[in-house]
């Protein structure tokens, strides 16, 4: 039977002759699972295993399934897993619209269609009209919203968050948490949130797993 959402089925990440991370979990569509643990417990390594960017020194055992499909052997770009990092990593030489366009799948063809998707995306994050702006002219919270939307435009089927709120000040952090969880829930995405911050996990409102 197909199981929708993100399934980490007896997943282990090994380094040398010892497992660094071992996890058995299922995140349903629209659910947020928070993963906490001390520095060095393997939180970022776990996310790298899921998106397919682990260094060659690591080996993965077990299964990673997304909407019932095994994705563990696919190249990163074919996995349909979006990730947001602590830093927004916007392309500085592209406008805000150019950054968003980078997220759009190639199947969205035609200038008018792409421009309309980008404008709707800006509207969804409260930044209508910001398309021509240089990313350097945005506040930290605005950059974070553009990074979120660029990731969502790629139509991922799961969302991974690696401490994406920690650089924002308290007010913006709260606003960004609400926006991320609302946009993910609206799309029915399973979300895996890695964080040091108990408030992040509390705001996510779902189950919490401790590593390490």
Ligand X SMILES: Nc1ncnc2c1ncn2[C@@H]1O[C@H](COP(=O)(O)OP(=O)(O)OP(=O)(O)O)[C@@H](O)[C@H]1O
Binding site for ligand X (CB under 6 A): 15, 20, 37, 39-45, 55, 57
Residue 26 Cβ, how far from ligand X at the closest point, in Å?
21
Q: How far apart are CA 123 and CA 200, in angstroms?
A: 25
Specify the residue, 99 or 195, whose C-beta has the smaller distance to ligand X.
195
- For residue 13, the cross-strand partners are 21, 60
Specify the residue, 41 or 95, whose C-beta has the smaller distance to ligand X.
41
Closest to 49 measured CA to CA, from 8, 16, 4: 8
Residue 39 Cβ, how far from ligand X at the closest point, in Å?
3
Specify the residue, 149 or 168, whose C-beta has the smaller distance to ligand X.
168
Q: How far apart are CA 99 and CA 118, in angstroms?
A: 10
Q: How many CB atoms lie within 10 A of CB 114?
A: 16
Residue 35 Cβ, how far from ligand X at the closest point, in Å?
9
Q: How far apart are CA 191 and CA 40, in angstroms?
A: 22
Q: How far apart are CA 145 and CA 122, in angstroms?
A: 9
Specify the residue, 59 or 109, whose C-beta has the smaller distance to ligand X.
59
Residue 48 Cβ, how far from ligand X at the closest point, in Å?
7
Residue 23 near residue 208, CB atoms below 8 Å: no
Residue 57 Cβ, how far from ligand X at the closest point, in Å?
5
Specify the residue, 43 or 143, whose C-beta has the smaller distance to ligand X.
43
Q: How far apart are CA 67 and CA 4, in angstroms?
A: 4
């Amino acid at each position: 039977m197909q199981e929708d959402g993100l399934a980490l089925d007896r997943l282990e990440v090994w380094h040398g002759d010892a497992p660094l991370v071992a996890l058995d979990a299922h995140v349903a569509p629209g659910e947020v699972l928070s993963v906490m643990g001390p520095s060095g417990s393997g939180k970022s390594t776990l996310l790298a295993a899921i998106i397919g960017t682990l260094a060659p020194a690591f080996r993965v055992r077990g299964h990673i399934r997304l909407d019932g499909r095994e994705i563990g052997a696919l190249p990163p770009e074919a996995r349909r897993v979006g990730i947001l990092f602590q830093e927004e990593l916007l392309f500085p030489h592209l406008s805000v619209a150019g950054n968003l366009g980078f997220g759009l799948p190639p199947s969205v063809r035609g200038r008018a269609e792409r421009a309309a998707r980008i404008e709707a995306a800006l509207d969804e994050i409260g930044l209508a009209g910001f398309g021509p702006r240089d990313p350097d002219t945005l506040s930290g919270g605005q950059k974070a919203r553009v990074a979120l939307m660029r990731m969502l435009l790629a139509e991922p089927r799961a969302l991974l968050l690696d401490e994406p709120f920690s650089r924002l000040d308290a007010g913006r952090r709260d606003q960004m948490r609400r926006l991320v969880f609302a946009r993910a829930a609206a799309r029915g995405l399973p979300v895996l949130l890695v964080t040091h911050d108990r408030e992040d996990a509390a705001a996510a409102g779902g189950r919490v797993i401790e590593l390490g």
